[in-house]
């Protein structure tokens, strides 16, 4: 049985507060767009976006939410301009370096308004699954090679390389490529829930790449987050979109 430890890892919850009246349809969109960012590294997202309705805070300063959520970092703020420019506040306490990164002057004038949102150049579909994963595969799921052509891409060349069999790799959304292998310690692996999986002799730990053509993204809205049935909602957020609004200090950082 192939085991991918990434499938059971706990998700980091990112808290976002909604401070503007937006349409219910836009709430699904923001979760979908966040999911693109959460799935950029792998199809098993390590983050989830939890949106809380704080429209009554629309007139508060940027510092007020940070005082209300002192232990939440980052604190995300979705405002009325988010639908049109994809921008989202990233609340932080140390912002000087971040402001320099996105060409916001310091000290920042009270009437300063950043029209151009800072974005990354990633294509969140074409470039997805940037990070590899390490899987544990049993002997019947792998094949080996000592062929010089298969060994020459490694330095120094090893004596043997392994890869997942094509059918096994496709079944798990992975690519079948030659790589180095090691044995599971004590022939077993502990799951995140504490249970232990035993592997037969000859099993190998292999570094594998996800296949964008086969792996299905697995992002889902966290239970309890603001939904379209909460009357009003939110909108498009490019996962690496960063912005400064008029008269407020914010920082810019990636969500994934």
Q: For residue 82, what is the enclosing H or E element?
A: helix 82-85
120 with 137, same domain? no
Strands 47-53 and 196-198, how do they pair? unpaired
Task: Classify residue 107: in a domain, yes or no.
Answer: yes
Decide: helix, strand or coil at residue 168. helix
Q: Is 181 left (phi over 0), alpha (psi -120 to 50) or beta?
A: beta
Query: Does the CA dihedral 247-249-253-256 come out positive or negative?
Result: negative
Task: Classify residue 15: in a domain, yes or no.
Answer: yes
114 with 222, same domain? yes
**Tokens representing residue 230 in the block:** 């909460």
Other beta carbons within 10 Å of 226: 25
Decide: helix, strand or coil at residue 5. helix
Q: Is residue 50 within 8 Å of 13, Cβ to Cβ?
A: yes
Q: What is the pLDDT of residues 28-81, one digit of tens each?
A: 777 888 888 888 888 988 889 999 999 998 888 777 888 899 898 888 888 877
Residue that the structure tokens 């805070």 belong to: 57
How many structural domains are present in the chain? Answer: 2
Other beta carbons within 10 Å of 146: 10
Domain of residue 178 covers: 133-208
Task: Classify residue 144: in a domain, yes or no.
Answer: yes
112 with 223, same domain? yes
**Max CA separation in the chain (angstroms):** 68
85 with 169, same domain? no
98 with 169, same domain? no
115 with 151, same domain? no
27 with 120, same domain? yes
Q: What is the pLDDT of residues 158-216, one digit of tens each?
A: 999 999 999 999 999 999 999 999 998 888 888 878 888 899 999 999 999 999 888 88
Say what the pTM is: 0.71
Task: Classify residue 197: in a domain, yes or no.
Answer: yes
Buried b / exposed e over 99-127, threshold 16 CB at 10 Å, is beebebeeeeeeeeebeebbbbebebeee
93 band by pLDDT with thresholds 50, 70 and 90: low
Other beta carbons within 10 Å of 57: 16
251 band by pLDDT with thresholds 50, 70 and 90: very low
18 with 56, same domain? yes
């Amino acid at each position: 049985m192939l085991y991918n430890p990434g499938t059971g890892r706990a998700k980091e919850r990112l808290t976002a507060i909604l401070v503007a009246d937006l349409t219910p349809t836009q709430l699904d969109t923001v979760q979908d767009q966040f999911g693109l960012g959460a799935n950029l590294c792998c199809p098993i997202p390590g983050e989830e976006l939890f949106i809380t309705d704080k429209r009554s805070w629309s007139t508060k300063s940027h510092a007020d939410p940070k005082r209300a959520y002192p232990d939440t970092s980052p604190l995300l703020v979705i405002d009325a301009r988010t639908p049109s420019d994809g921008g989202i506040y990233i609340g932080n306490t140390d912002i000087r370096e971040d402001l320099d990164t996105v060409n916001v002057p310091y000290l920042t004038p009270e009437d300063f308004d950043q029209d151009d949102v800072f974005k990354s150049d990633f294509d969140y579909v074409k470039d997805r699954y940037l990070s590899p994963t390490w899987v544990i595969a049993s002997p019947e799921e792998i094949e080996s090679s000592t062929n010089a052509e298969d060994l020459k891409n490694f330095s120094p060349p090893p004596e043997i390389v392994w890869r997942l069999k094509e059918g096994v790799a496709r079944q798990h959304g992975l690519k079948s490529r030659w790589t180095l292998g090691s044995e599971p310690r004590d022939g077993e692996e502990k799951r995140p829930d504490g249970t232990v999986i035993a592997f037969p002799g000859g099993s190998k730990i292999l570094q594998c790449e996800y296949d964008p053509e086969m792996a299905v993204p697995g992002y889902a809205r966290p239970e309890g987050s603001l939904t379209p049935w909460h009357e009003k909602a939110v909108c498009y957020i490019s996962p690496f979109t960063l912005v400064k609004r008029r008269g407020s200090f914010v920082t810019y950082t990636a969500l994934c």
